[in-house]
């Protein structure tokens, strides 16, 4: 794929992601149940388009004068040093006030509980981006995917059923071979079908999908699960705290 088409895919991803965010926000704020259902379906459709574009962007380049067949996909994981024990992914942009502030504080409390339990290498947008700040979509996507590649596992925290770019991050993590732990409030039905059922699928030729799903009532439930099972989750002692 040449530079110019790749740039076009990036622009398309930015546009579709923005449209997905708008639809998700409208679905969360409208009082009309019929309109809410239509907007939710549209947001899910936009999310699927985002996943497709991410796959297209991940395909290796080929110059126009190279007649050789396109090589197979290359695993990018080993090329980056593991810097984080876990990456926390959670929907934020689609939340309206005051739910946005409440959920942001809940995730910050989760991070503090994990750090108190000596899991200090945590990547999360809430730690890195100031409250209310925004970044260009392509910059945020590149930064988030890089952090996922540099993390041992991804932890998804879903406070309710909604379309979110966090689901794109789950798909990217699974494509990278990462282990994903999906925590959803109240009931597993609040997760998309493919996520809540994928770990029940029989192992295929490519091996099992490393995805586990759980329900939670509070951030304490999530932190306790991770801390109590750290050796099973990470397979070895967690990374030492960073100097300073």
pLDDT score of 132 more than 80:
no
Whether 170 and 94 share a structural domain? yes
Q: Residue 234's pLDDT is what?
A: 79
Whether 167 and 128 share a structural domain? yes
Whether 54 and 85 share a structural domain? no
Q: Residue 84's pLDDT is what?
A: 93
Domain range for 86 = 81-234
Whether 39 and 109 share a structural domain? no
What does pTM read for this prediction?
0.61
Distance linking the first and last C-alpha atoms of the chain: 43
Structural domain contains residue 38 = yes
Whether 102 and 189 share a structural domain? yes
Whether 95 and 144 share a structural domain? yes
Residue pair 182/191 in contact by the 8 Å Cβ criterion: yes
CATH of the domain at 214: 3.40.50.450
DSSP symbol at 13: H
Helix (H), strand (E) at residue 185:
strand 179-185
> Of 71-80, 130-139, 177-186, 190-199, which gets the smallest average pLDDT?
71-80
Average pLDDT over residues 21-48: 72
Whether 109 and 228 share a structural domain? yes
In whole angstroms, what is the distance from residue 15 CA to residue 146 CA?
A: 21
Whether 18 and 103 share a structural domain? no
Distance of CA 138 to the CA centre of its chain: 15
Whether 97 and 159 share a structural domain? yes
Whether 101 and 140 share a structural domain? yes
Average pLDDT over residues 171-197: 80
Structural domain contains residue 239 = no
pLDDT score of 151 more than 80:
yes
Q: What is the pLDDT of residues 67-113, one digit of tens each?
A: 444 333 334 444 578 999 999 999 877 677 788 889 899 999 999 99
pLDDT score of 160 more than 50:
yes
Q: Residue 70's pLDDT is what?
A: 38
Q: Residue 59's pLDDT is what?
A: 56
């Amino acid at each position: 794929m040449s530079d110019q088409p790749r740039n076009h895919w990036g622009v398309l991803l930015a546009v579709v992601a923005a449209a997905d965010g708008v639809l998700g926000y409208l679905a969360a704020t409208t009082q009309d149940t019929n309109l809410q259902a239509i907007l939710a379906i549209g947001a899910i459709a936009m999310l699927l388009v985002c996943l497709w574009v991410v796959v297209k962007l991940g395909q290796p380049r080929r110059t126009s004068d190279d007649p050789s067949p396109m090589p197979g996909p290359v695993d990018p994981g080993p090329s980056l040093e593991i810097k984080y024990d876990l990456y926390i992914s959670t929907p934020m942009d689609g939340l309206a006030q005051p739910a946005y502030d409440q959920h942001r504080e809940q995730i910050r409390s989760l991070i503090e509980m994990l750090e108190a339990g000596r899991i200090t290498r945590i990547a999360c947008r809430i730690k890195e981006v100031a409250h209310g700040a925004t970044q260009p979509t392509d910059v945020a996507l590149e930064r988030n995917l890089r952090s996922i590649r540099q993390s041992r596992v991804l932890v998804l925290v879903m406070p309710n059923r909604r379309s979110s770019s966090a689901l794109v991050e789950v798909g990217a993590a699974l494509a990278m071979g990462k282990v994903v732990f999906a925590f959803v409030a109240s009931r597993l039905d609040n997760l998309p079908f493919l996520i809540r059922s994928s770990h029940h699928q029989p192992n295929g030729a490519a091996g099992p999908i490393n995805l586990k799903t759980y329900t939670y009532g509070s951030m304490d439930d999530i932190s306790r699960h991770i801390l109590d099972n750290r050796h099973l989750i990470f397979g070895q002692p967690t990374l030492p705290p960073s100097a300073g």
